[in-house]
């Protein structure tokens, strides 16, 4: 049995195409196929960052051009053998791209748009530098005298084979990433970067890494292409045609599929040949522009869009993979009944209950002068359910956002038992330390299945499981939360109650030591709330420590061991639930004016 | 590297202000559609060049006065902008896809310009081109002065409209939260059409200014993208005065750079400024 049919297919296709020079066809065929491979490399390498993670680059022409000029300079001016310039071109291009990424990816909002525009602008900057320095000097570089390695009898066959090898390697790498941890992380970044980071995906280094790989492949392709054109000029190299065509090919083929760009590249190269043969170059360019417009408007997912399953295997049939003997997930009685299915070891910690797990000291967070948190001190003890209550705007959600690393604290410290200081760390490090959270308004990854949504934190959170282990772990938690029947559904098929439980399953799959629950009960019916209360109790019985932010007072009183009351960003009371809620200052803060409704 | 004389330096600062005004004028429409409609309209540059070529045609061939061409171009481009927004709204286009679609549109317009007017560079030979007057030791060319006047007038007009009129307040509300604005009776759809129309009309005006002071070639469309977007981003999205201020800062830095080093290095200036701003304000953008 073939273990990996896709990669076997790539290699077989590559070997078959490698025999083409032996057929002694007219030279036209070799250069036509060469151009297809060339565009396959450029489009597929572009897609590794831009398609998978959604960060569109318009700078692929620059990365590719840097490769071309590296070879042009080293081989053409300094006599370095061509083969050596290939890896050097890849490395220089990758370093350049990663340096650029290190600047742009630090920006908060609008990262995506800024990245697109900066990469477009950088193409002209690189062109300016190359044109005005001895690298080119405005004359162009002639590579006519540079020797190619003698792979075959003719130069054109050698170039054909070199670019074919590049294409096979690039598609192989694109497929390998597609199926890897990196690939899943990139797809999560595409859907919701902030959530991906909070679930443990190191988003910054993943983007930089993907950009580096993408640039290296483009740079190596540029090195070969420099030999193909043999006369390298700034005008031809850094034209806007390269990024335009690459984006078009990938979008046409489907950016969420590893093979999409290669399919798009083959189709467009063929079309371009038909359109631009003879005197219709201008019409050809207009046609490419028109196709881009039409495809985006009418087929935003591309030709392979309907075959996309984002890299995970699809169930062989539509039936759920696990037997679900009991009632459907929407039945509120299910979760607690299924609690026995949860892995008993999962949330247990070695340390005894009662000792401090999380220590927050003087925590402050300001938004443009508004003090959402104003010096909060609190301790969460191991094994307890701590209720965090207070009126709307009192800072409960901000506290969760700061502790989980979603926001950076303005001042103060967050110490986590055995892990040291967490304040100021990127959110994925906090997830690795063992803190998981839910979002009040569920934020699932819309293009990933329910199973993938839950498997992701198991792979990237504290547990750091392999893909197969993570899938098993995810299935048990889906069963535990009553979502077993929805394993292969997309989040859009879930109702609010199920989405809330998806949030919960996702947080649990990371096997956290501390679970931050942000209003998991809001919007649920009284019957659903009863079921949810049983589920949360079952989670605590498995050994987890829980911070429970909630407005549903019945649940707070039933579940919590201790309560902290926040008002205007400060802790105003702390103690046993019944005692604290009876205090006059809490009643005033919580209910506001005397005429306010009872809780 | 040698320091230029005081007069030369003053002259290059002045020409920096003039080119910066054109950056600001081109950036005004872009900033509005990006900041308020969440669309990144690359076709803005192509529209400006289309306007420039139309000005050229009406002036050089039909012998109109250049300023008179605005009577045709402004309403026609307003209609184009409305049509574009209607299409975007019909297909519920996302910000990223707006970038891709307008990229495609840019290429189509570029090809059309090349097919009609050829790829040969052309320069408008109008009465304005020869009018220069001297202020002290400095030369002030009339076309550039016109650009500066247009840029300041349109930026101030837009700023005042957004700030003081009900229409402008409704636009800002719609940009902040379209659903909430709609719930309060704001016709978000019509405002978007109006905004897109205005933005395209601004491109038409910028086109007139381009035609008066620059040599036109279809491929030049792309030469403006980097620096104008830098001005828009440094100036702040949706802020009508920002692109003009940032544009002038960039323009002056560029022409001073050109005066003390080689002219070919100017494109590096805007990019370095942009990177510096990004590094400094990484959290706030």
Give residue-wise pLDDT tens across range B196-217.
Answer: 999 999 999 999 999 998 889 9
A289 interaction partners in chain B (CB closer than 8 Å): 103-108, 111
Q: What is the pLDDT of residue A348?
A: 56
Question: Encoding tokens for residue A361?
Answer: 């000291």
A112 interaction partners in chain B (CB closer than 8 Å): 95-96
B114 interaction partners in chain A (CB closer than 8 Å): 282
Mean pLDDT along residues B153-170: 93
Strands A562-567 and A570-575: antiparallel
B265: contact with A, CB 8 A cutoff: yes
Mean pLDDT along residues A12-35: 87
Report the candidate in B216, B103, B122, B147 with the shortest Cα–Cα distance to residue A248: B103
pLDDT(A315) > 80: no
Q: What is the pLDDT of residue A308?
A: 58
Cα→Cα distances A278→A253, A272, A282, B73, Å: 27, 11, 11, 35
Give me the torsion for CA of B18, B23, B26, B28, rounded to 10°.
Answer: -100
Report the candidate in A226, A161, A151 with the shortest Cα–Cα distance to residue A31: A161
pLDDT(A215) > 90: yes
A297 interaction partners in chain B (CB closer than 8 Å): 87, 91, 93, 101
Strands A356-367 and A411-416: antiparallel
**Phi then psi dihedrals of residue A152, to 5 deg:** -140, -175
Helix axes A111-132, A60-71, angle to 10 degrees: 30
Task: Work out how many CB contacts closer than 8 A connect A with B.
Answer: 122
Mean pLDDT along residues A465-480: 92
Selecting from B97, B115, B226 the residue whose C-beta is nearest the C-beta of A282 gives B115
Alpha carbons A58 and A47: distance in angstroms, whole number: 12
Residue B107 to residue A54, Cβ atoms within 8 A: no
Q: What is the pLDDT of residue A125?
A: 85
Report the candidate in A82, A93, A214 with the shortest Cα–Cα distance to residue A148: A82
pLDDT band for position A365 (50/70/90)?
very high
pLDDT band for position B258 (50/70/90)?
confident
pLDDT band for position A460 (50/70/90)?
very high
Selecting from B267, B270, B283 the residue whose C-beta is nearest the C-beta of A108 gives B283
DSSP reduced 3-state for A437:
strand
Alpha carbons A240 and A285: distance in angstroms, whole number: 11
**Contact (Cβ atoms closer than 8 angstroms) between residue B223 and residue B266:** no
* Range with the poorest average pLDDT among A96-110, A304-318, A378-392: A304-318
Residue B265 to residue A121, Cβ atoms within 8 A: no
Count CB neighbours of A105 within 10 A. 20
Selecting from A103, A283, A296 the residue whose C-beta is nearest the C-beta of B275 gives A103
pLDDT(B234) > 50: yes
Question: Encoding tokens for residue A84?
Answer: 């050596």
Residue-wise pLDDT for A559-574, tens only, equals 999 999 998 889 998 9
Q: Which residue is it, tokens 């969420």?
A: A256
**Phi then psi dihedrals of residue A331, to 5 deg:** -80, 125
A135: contact with B, CB 8 A cutoff: no
Q: What is the pLDDT of residue A320?
A: 37
pLDDT(A502) > 90: yes
Give me the torsion for CA of A92, A96, A98, A99, rounded to 10°.
Answer: 130
A118: contact with B, CB 8 A cutoff: yes
Selecting from B40, B91, B223 the residue whose C-beta is nearest the C-beta of A297 gives B91
Residue B115 to residue A113, Cβ atoms within 8 A: no
* Range with the poorest average pLDDT among A148-157, A348-357, B179-188: A348-357
Alpha carbons B193 and B82: distance in angstroms, whole number: 5
DSSP reduced 3-state for A380:
strand
Report the candidate in A82, A52, A50 with the shortest Cα–Cα distance to residue A67: A82
A286 interaction partners in chain B (CB closer than 8 Å): 107-108, 111-112, 115
Q: What is the pLDDT of residue A94?
A: 97
Mean pLDDT along residues A119-142: 85
**Contact (Cβ atoms closer than 8 angstroms) between residue A43 and residue A246:** yes
Q: How far does B61 lie from chain A, in Å, by closest CA?
A: 24
The larger pLDDT score, comparing residue A114 to residue A195, is at A195
pLDDT band for position A283 (50/70/90)?
confident
Mean pLDDT along residues A291-318: 64
B223: contact with A, CB 8 A cutoff: yes
Alpha carbons B283 and A170: distance in angstroms, whole number: 35
Residue A110 to residue B285, Cβ atoms within 8 A: yes
Alpha carbons A549 and A585: distance in angstroms, whole number: 19
Mean pLDDT along residues A393-412: 90
A110: contact with B, CB 8 A cutoff: yes
* Range with the poorest average pLDDT among A273-287, B142-156, B231-245: A273-287
Report the candidate in A384, A379, A382 with the shortest Cα–Cα distance to residue A415: A379
pLDDT band for position B129 (50/70/90)?
low
* b/e code A124-142 from CB counts within 10 Å (16+ = b): bbbbbbbbbeebbeeeebe
| B contact residues 76-105, partner A, Cβ 8 Å cutoff | 87, 91, 93, 95-97, 99-101, 103-105
Mean pLDDT along residues A80-108: 92
pLDDT(B109) > 90: yes
pLDDT(A376) > 70: yes
pLDDT(A342) > 60: no
* Range with the poorest average pLDDT among A335-339, B10-14, B36-40: A335-339
Alpha carbons A533 and A521: distance in angstroms, whole number: 9
Report the candidate in A236, A255, A276 with the shortest Cα–Cα distance to residue A187: A255
**In chain A, which residue's Cα lies nearest the Cα of B268?**
A125
A286: contact with B, CB 8 A cutoff: yes
Residue B233 to residue A117, Cβ atoms within 8 A: yes
A293 interaction partners in chain B (CB closer than 8 Å): 101, 104-105, 108
Mean pLDDT along residues B183-203: 92
Residue B97 to residue A118, Cβ atoms within 8 A: no
Alpha carbons A97 and A120: distance in angstroms, whole number: 12
Q: What is the pLDDT of residue A326?
A: 36
**Phi then psi dihedrals of residue B4, to 5 deg:** -75, 165
**In chain A, which residue's Cα lies nearest the Cα of B237?**
A110
Mean pLDDT along residues A296-315: 63
Selecting from A103, A107, A300 the residue whose C-beta is nearest the C-beta of B97 gives A300
Residue B96 to residue A285, Cβ atoms within 8 A: no
**Contact (Cβ atoms closer than 8 angstroms) between residue B99 and residue A116:** yes
Residue A108 to residue B93, Cβ atoms within 8 A: no
- Beta-carbon-side half-sphere exposure of residue A317 (alpha carbons within 13 Å): 3
Residue B226 to residue A124, Cβ atoms within 8 A: yes
Residue B268 to residue A291, Cβ atoms within 8 A: no
Strand partners, A385: A546
Question: Encoding tokens for residue B243?
Answer: 């692109």
Alpha carbons A564 and A388: distance in angstroms, whole number: 5
Q: What is the pLDDT of residue A291?
A: 84
Selecting from B91, B226, B237 the residue whose C-beta is nearest the C-beta of A121 gives B226
Residue B93 to residue A131, Cβ atoms within 8 A: no
Residue-wise pLDDT for A37-72, tens only, equals 999 999 999 999 999 999 988 889 999 999 999 999
pLDDT(A346) > 60: no
The larger pLDDT score, comparing residue B269 to residue B70, is at B70
Q: How far does A89 lie from chain B, in Å, by closest CA?
A: 23
Residue B93 to residue A116, Cβ atoms within 8 A: no
Quote the ipTM score.
0.83
- On the 0-12 / 13-18 / 19+ scale of CB atoms within 10 A, A261 is buried
**Contact (Cβ atoms closer than 8 angstroms) between residue A365 and residue A372:** yes
**Contact (Cβ atoms closer than 8 angstroms) between residue A402 and residue A439:** no
Mean pLDDT along residues B23-44: 92
Residue A118 to residue B274, Cβ atoms within 8 A: yes
Report the candidate in A157, A155, A139 with the shortest Cα–Cα distance to residue A69: A139
Q: How far does A243 lie from chain B, in Å, by closest CA?
A: 10
Q: What is the pLDDT of residue A330?
A: 39
A288: contact with B, CB 8 A cutoff: yes
The larger pLDDT score, comparing residue A137 to residue A110, is at A137
- Beta-carbon-side half-sphere exposure of residue A46 (alpha carbons within 13 Å): 35
- On the 0-12 / 13-18 / 19+ scale of CB atoms within 10 A, B134 is exposed
Strand order of the β-sheet with A385-389 is A435-437, A514-518, A545-549, A385-389, A562-567, A570-575
pLDDT(A290) > 70: yes
List of residues 6+ apart from B191 with CB closer than 8 A: B167, B170, B171, B174
- On the 0-12 / 13-18 / 19+ scale of CB atoms within 10 A, B34 is buried
Calculate what percentage of chain A has a pLDDT beyond 70: 89
B118: contact with A, CB 8 A cutoff: no
pLDDT(A592) > 70: no
Question: Encoding tokens for residue A366?
Answer: 């300001």
B261: contact with A, CB 8 A cutoff: no
The matching CATH number, chosen from 1.10.510, 3.40.50, 2.60.120, 1.10.3470, for B6-280 is 1.10.3470
Residue-wise pLDDT for A511-527, tens only, equals 999 999 998 888 888 88
Strands A562-567 and A385-389: parallel
Q: What is the pLDDT of residue A278?
A: 56
Q: How far does B130 lie from chain A, in Å, by closest CA?
A: 31
B275: contact with A, CB 8 A cutoff: yes
pLDDT(B9) > 80: yes
Residue B229 to residue A121, Cβ atoms within 8 A: yes
Alpha carbons A282 and A582: distance in angstroms, whole number: 79
* b/e code A280-319 from CB counts within 10 Å (16+ = b): eebebbbbbbebbbebbbeebbbbbbeeeebbbeeeeeee
List of residues 6+ apart from A12 with CB closer than 8 A: none
A268 interaction partners in chain B (CB closer than 8 Å): none
**Mean pLDDT score of chain A:** 85
Q: Helices (DSSP H) in chain B: which residue ranges?
A: 6-37, 43-56, 70-90, 95-117, 127-130, 142-164, 166-176, 178-183, 188-213, 225-235, 242-260, 267-280
**Contact (Cβ atoms closer than 8 angstroms) between residue A477 and residue A438:** no
Query: What is the DSSP annotation of A167-222?
Result: HHHHHHHHHHHHTSHHHHHHHHHHHHHHHHHHTT--HHHHHHHHHHHHHHHHHHHH
A114: contact with B, CB 8 A cutoff: yes
The larger pLDDT score, comparing residue A364 to residue A275, is at A364
Give me the torsion for CA of A453, A454, A455, A459, rounded to 10°.
Answer: 100
Strand order of the β-sheet with A356-367 is A370-381, A356-367, A411-416, A420-421
Substitution target from A114, A124, A193, A409 for chain B, most B beta carbons within 10 A:
A124
pLDDT(B148) > 80: yes
* Range with the poorest average pLDDT among A357-371, A509-523, A533-547, B261-275: B261-275
Selecting from A114, A132, A293 the residue whose C-beta is nearest the C-beta of B101 gives A293
Mean pLDDT along residues A423-446: 92
Q: What is the pLDDT of residue A67?
A: 96
A299: contact with B, CB 8 A cutoff: no
B226 interaction partners in chain A (CB closer than 8 Å): 120-121, 124-125
pLDDT band for position A596 (50/70/90)?
very low
**In chain B, which residue's Cα lies nearest the Cα of A118?**
B226
B268 interaction partners in chain A (CB closer than 8 Å): 125, 128-129
Calculate what percentage of chain A has a pLDDT beyond 90: 46
């Amino acid at each position: 049995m073939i273990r990996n049919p896709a990669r076997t297919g790539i290699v077989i296709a590559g070997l078959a195409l490698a025999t083409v020079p032996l057929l002694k066809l007219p030279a036209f065929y070799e250069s036509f196929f060469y151009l297809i491979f060339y565009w396959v490399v450029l489009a597929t390498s572009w897609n590794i960052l831009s398609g998978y993670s959604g960060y569109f680059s318009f700078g692929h022409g620059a990365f590719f051009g840097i490769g071309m000029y590296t070879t042009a300079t080293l081989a053409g001016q300094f006599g370095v053998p061509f083969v050596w310039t290939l890896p050097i071109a890849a490395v220089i291009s990758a370093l350049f791209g990663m340096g650029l990424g290190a600047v742009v990816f630090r920006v908060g909002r609008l990262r995506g748009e800024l990245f697109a525009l900066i990469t477009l602008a950088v193409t002209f900057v690189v062109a300016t530098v190359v044109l005005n320095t001895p690298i080119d000097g405005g004359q162009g570089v002639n590579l006519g005298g540079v020797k190619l390695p003698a792979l075959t009898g003719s130069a054109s066959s050698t170039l054909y084979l070199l670019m074919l090898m590049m294409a096979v390697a690039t598609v192989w790498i694109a497929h390998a990433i597609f199926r890897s941890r990196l690939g899943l992380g990139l797809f999560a970044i595409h859907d919701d970067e902030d959530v991906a980071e909070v679930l443990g995906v190191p988003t910054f280094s993943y983007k930089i890494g993907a950009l580096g790989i993408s640039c290296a492949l483009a740079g190596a392709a540029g090195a070969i292409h420099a030999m193909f054109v043999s006369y390298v000029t700034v005008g031809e190299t850094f034209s806007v045609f390269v990024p335009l065509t690459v984006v078009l090919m990938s979008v046409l083929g489907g950016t969420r599929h590893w093979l999409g760009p290669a399919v798009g590249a083959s189709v467009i190269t063929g079309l371009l040949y038909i359109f631009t043969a003879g005197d219709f170059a201008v019409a050809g360019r207009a046609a490419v522009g028109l196709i881009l417009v039409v495809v985006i408007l009418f087929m935003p997912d591309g030709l392979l869009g309907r075959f996309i399953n984002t890299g995970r295997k699809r169930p062989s049939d539509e039936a759920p993979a696990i037997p679900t003997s009991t009632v459907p997930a929407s039945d509120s009685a299910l979760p607690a009944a299924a609690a026995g299915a949860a892995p008993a070891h999962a949330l247990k910690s070695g340390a005894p209950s009662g000792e401090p797990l999380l220590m927050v000291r003087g925590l402050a967070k300001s938004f443009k002068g508004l003090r959402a948190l104003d010096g909060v001190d609190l301790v969460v003890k191991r094994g307890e359910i701590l209720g965090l209550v207070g009126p709307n705007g009192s800072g409960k959600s901000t506290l969760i956002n700061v502790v989980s690393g979603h926001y950076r604290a303005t001042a103060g410290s967050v110490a986590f038992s055995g892990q040291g200081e967490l304040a100021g760390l990127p959110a994925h490090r906090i997830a690795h330390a063992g803190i998981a959270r839910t979002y009040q308004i569920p934020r699932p990854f819309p293009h990933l299945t329910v199973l993938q949504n839950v498997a992701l934190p198991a792979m990237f959170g504290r547990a750091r499981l392999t893909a197969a282990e993570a899938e098993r772990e995810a299935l048990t938690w889906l069963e535990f939360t009553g979502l077993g029947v929805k394993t292969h559904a997309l989040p859009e098929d879930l109702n609010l109650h199920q989405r809330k439980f998806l949030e919960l399953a996702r947080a649990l799959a990371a096997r956290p030591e501390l679970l931050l629950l942000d209003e998991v009960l809001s919007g649920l019916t009284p019957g659903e709330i009863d079921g949810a209360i049983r589920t949360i109790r079952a989670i605590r019985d498995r050994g987890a420590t829980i911070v429970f932010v909630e407005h549903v007072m019945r649940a707070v009183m039933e579940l919590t061991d201790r309560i902290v009351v926040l008002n205007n960003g400060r802790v105003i009371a702390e103690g046993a639930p019944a005692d604290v809620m009876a205090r006059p200052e809490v009643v005033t803060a919580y209910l506001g004016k005397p005429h306010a409704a009872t809780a | 590297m040698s320091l230029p004389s005081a007069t030369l330096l003053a002259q290059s600062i002045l020409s920096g202000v003039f080119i910066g005004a054109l950056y600001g004028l081109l950036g005004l429409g872009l900033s509005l559609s990006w900041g308020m409609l969440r669309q990144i309209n690359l076709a803005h540059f192509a529209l400006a060049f289309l306007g420039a070529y139309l000005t050229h045609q009406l002036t050089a061939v039909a012998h109109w006065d250049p300023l008179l061409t605005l009577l045709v171009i402004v309403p026609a481009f307003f209609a184009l902008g409305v049509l574009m927004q209607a299409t975007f709204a019909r297909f519920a286009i996302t910000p990223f896809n707006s970038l891709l679609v307008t990229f495609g549109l840019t290429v189509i317009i570029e090809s059309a310009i090349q097919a009609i007017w050829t790829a040969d560079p052309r320069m408008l030979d109008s009465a304005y081109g020869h009018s220069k007057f001297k202020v002290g030791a400095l030369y002030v060319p009339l076309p550039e002065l016109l650009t500066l006047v247009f840029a300041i007038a349109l930026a101030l007009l837009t700023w005042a409209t957004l700030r003081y009129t009900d229409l402008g307040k409704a636009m800002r509300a719609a940009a902040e939260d379209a659903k909430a604005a709609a719930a309060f009776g704001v016709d978000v759809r019509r405002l978007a059409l109006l905004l897109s129309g205005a933005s395209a009309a601004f491109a038409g005006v910028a086109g007139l200014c381009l035609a008066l002071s620059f040599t036109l070639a279809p491929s030049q469309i792309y030469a403006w993208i980097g620096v104008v977007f830098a001005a828009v981003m440094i100036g702040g999205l949706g802020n009508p005065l920002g692109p003009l201020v940032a544009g002038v800062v960039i323009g002056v830095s560029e022409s001073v750079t050109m005066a003390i080093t080689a002219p070919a290095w100017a494109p590096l200036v805007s990019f370095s400024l942009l990177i510096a701003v990004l590094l400094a304000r990484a959290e706030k953008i």
